Chain A
Amino acid sequence: MARSPRALTLAAGVLGLALVPVGAELLNQPFYVDLFRRIMIFAIAALSLDLILGYGGMVSFGHAAYLGIGAYAVGVLTHHGIANGYLQWSLAILGSALVALAIGAVSIRTSGVYFIMITLAFTQMLYYLGISIEEYGGDDGMRLAVRSQFPGLLDLRNGTAFYYLVLAILLLFLLLGQRLVNARFGMVIRAARSNEPRARAIGFSPYRYKLTAFVISGAMCGLAGALLVNHTEYLTPEFMHWTRSGEIMFMVILGGIGTLMGPVLGAVVFLLLEDVLSAWTVHWQIILGPLLVLVVLFAKKGLIGLVPEEAPPGG
């Protein structure tokens, strides 16, 4: 069976990620487990965005909302003494799915720049809601008293176990995404993206398909939020700040829009870049900003575009 360069890159990437805790142990640098766990959590968020952005053409500028809903589901339950992870994470997924359903139902009626602005505005609404609820910390946020509990199965306080759980979820979502975009459902979404009137003419109702994709994407991102708050052990409305949505979107574009590996690669490069630049200067954003402009202007297909899709003939 011929292996394409992209499949090889994917295999190498997964192997690399799987070996991070081992390497960190050898180098006695537990910090790397933390860094790459954070990277993978954002990779999940970026992947969920790319499902609707890259395949569905829906420029959602509010994906941070679901990150926030997922985080608040965990944070709020913990605050009230319920630390059961099954319950928390189910609520995170269900809650963000419901919010995505509400936001999507309104925004998908519109398109283009209206869609961008509306998703942005709704997320900002949730952000201000988070800020104004004093009981859950208001704009100061609050500490997560204890990480989600999975008695008998897994202890998230063990950093390495948590790391492999995140990796497993990322792989699961990659697989799920692969099945989804190549299924009939994914084909309809992609058809609606390239020519919506034609998709309608051949008998599909794109609205329902797009809304379903929007909800699936929101639910995936909600789980990423539940992971993120367990990672930071701190709940803050900043999860929902609109610049967060911009960063997630940048990861997708940087890595390569409309591919499954692209967002993951984008998250890795973006967050490593952030790590390196912020170690170098506190004003790292003054470098990142123009860099973003340059990437948009000159690297249309993203980093994944550098890896050829098919093996060269005869190779």
Chain B
Amino acid sequence: MLLVLEQTLNGLQYGVMLLLMAAGLTLVFGIMNLVNLAHGSLYMVGAYLATGFHQWTGSFLVAVPLALAATLVVGIVVEVVALRTLYERDHLDQVLATFGLILFFNELVAIVWGRAALYTSLPGWLSGHMLVLPGVRYPVYRALVILVGLVVAALLYLMVTRTRLGMLIRAGASNRTMVAALGVNIRLLYTVVFGFGAALAGLAGLMAGPIYAVQPGMGEQILIQVFVVIVIGGIGSIRGAVIGAVIVGMVDTLGRAFLKPMLSTVLSPSAADTAGPALASMLIYMLMAAVLAVRPQGLFPVR
């Protein structure tokens, strides 16, 4: 029972990281109609920059804002240099060009930091465990990730629904020509939204650093799971991204933890050993297929 609670928290923690990624990806797609495969690269860049700044300054707390700001800058540079010309192109061109960017970024970090995985150490006050319930201990850092993720999600929701920038974002998503005609600098708006999405990906990446290994190509694995999230939720829908992220985070984490023991109650141990991990890694894709079979536009399509 305690294990179930712990794994549920892990699922939530993974879910909020997927959410930070999905929010940026779905905003960029919903507003600019841009399929950005390189979103995972920004996650990776965030993780590497945080590790790099951490080693350089010796302080995790200083490294975090520096890495966030730097990822924001990287995102803006990428938008201005490479992506700006792609908005009017079809999706195939966008997919290929951003695929090219992935190769570039993977190789770039390999040149700067090498191909071997980096492991970041946490400051003492973050590396312990805390008591969630009597008898249930949970890593402080993972709890912090959940908290930060939820707070950022709430802020994002407030920003999109309550602020002037959010109003422009929503307006730009429904009719960009009209927004431009009303005198809004749509180019600048796009750059801001993209940079903002990059910073969210960077935040997910820098929080992932101490939990998973930091290595070239780390962005792709999560990117594909984020695709599953936004396909399930409905592309361009923030609400869909939130709910899809939590579902995928939970299903993936709980599947990996409990599918094997559950199968071993009905199958022979060796069969369960083989089928368990295989099925667990396929679970979210089966979920996606099931959702699509019923609702081809996702659970919460945008209008």
Residues of A participating in the B interface, judged by any CB pair closer than 8 Å: 53, 59, 61, 106, 109-110, 112-114, 116-118, 120-122, 124-125, 128-129, 131-135, 242-243, 246, 249-250, 253, 283-286, 288-293, 295-297
Contacts and interface: CB of A to CB of B under 8 A. Distances in A.
A117 B226 CA distance: 10
Contact of B111 (A125, A131, A132, A286): A286
Interface in B54-108: 82, 85-86, 89, 91-93, 95-97, 99-108
A274 B185 CA distance: 42
Contact of B107 (A117, A246, A285): A285
A110 B292 contact: yes
Which one of A122, A133, A289 has the highest number of Cβ atoms from chain B below 10 Å of its Cβ?
A289
Contacts of B108: 286
A125 B281 contact: yes
Interface residues of B, number: 44
Nearest to B115: A282
Contacts of B274: 133-135
Contacts of B31: none
B91 A59 contact: yes
B278 interface: yes
Contact of B96 (A109, A113, A132, A250): A250
B285 A125 contact: yes
A291 B235 contact: no
B110 to A, nearest CB: 7
A246 B278 contact: no
A113 B101 contact: no
Contact of A117 (B82, B92, B231): B231
A246 B103 CA distance: 10
A117 B96 contact: no
10 contacts: A53-B92, A59-B95, A106-B289, A114-B292, A120-B227, A125-B281, A286-B103, A289-B103, A292-B103, A296-B89
Given A106-B293, A129-B278, A132-B277, A293 B231 contact: no
Given A284-B107, A292-B103, 9 more contacts: A114-B292, A116-B35, A121-B288, A129-B281, A135-B274, A286-B108, A292-B99, A295-B96, A296-B89
Nearest to A133: B278
B111 A249 contact: no
Contacts of A132: 277-278, 280-281
A289 B102 contact: yes
B6 interface: no
A250 B108 CA distance: 21
A250 B107 contact: no
A115 to B, nearest CB: 9
B228 A121 contact: yes
Given A122-B285, A289-B107, A296 B228 contact: no
A290 B91 contact: no
A242 B224 contact: yes
Given A113-B235, A118-B231, A289-B107, A128 B282 contact: yes
B281 A128 contact: yes
Given A125-B282, A286-B108, A118 B288 contact: yes
Nearest to B108: A286
A225 B221 CA distance: 23
B81 to A, nearest CB: 9
B261 interface: no
Interface in B250-293: 274, 277-278, 280-282, 285, 288-289, 292-293
A292 B95 contact: no
B215 to A, nearest CB: 14
Which one of A53, A114, A288, A293 has the highest number of Cβ atoms from chain B below 10 Å of its Cβ?
A293
B97 A297 contact: yes
Given A289-B103, A290-B104, A296 B292 contact: no
Contacts of B280: 132
Given A106-B289, A118-B231, A285 B97 contact: no
B138 interface: no
Contacts of B235: 113-114
B296 interface: yes
Contacts of A242: 220, 224
B104 A124 contact: no
Contact of A250 (B89, B99, B104, B282): B99
B53 interface: no
Contacts of B35: 113, 116
A253 B93 CA distance: 9
B57 to A, nearest CB: 27
B100 A291 contact: yes
A124 B97 contact: no
Contacts of B82: 293
A124 B285 contact: yes
A255 to B, nearest CB: 13
B101 A283 contact: no
Contact of A283 (B91, B93, B110, B224): B110
A131 B89 CA distance: 36
Nearest to B273: A134
Contacts of B228: 117, 121
Contacts of B103: 243, 285-286, 288-289, 292
A48 to B, nearest CB: 17
A249 B37 CA distance: 14
A122 B290 CA distance: 13
A114 B231 contact: yes
B48 to A, nearest CB: 15
Given A129-B278, A250-B96, A291-B100, A283 B107 contact: yes
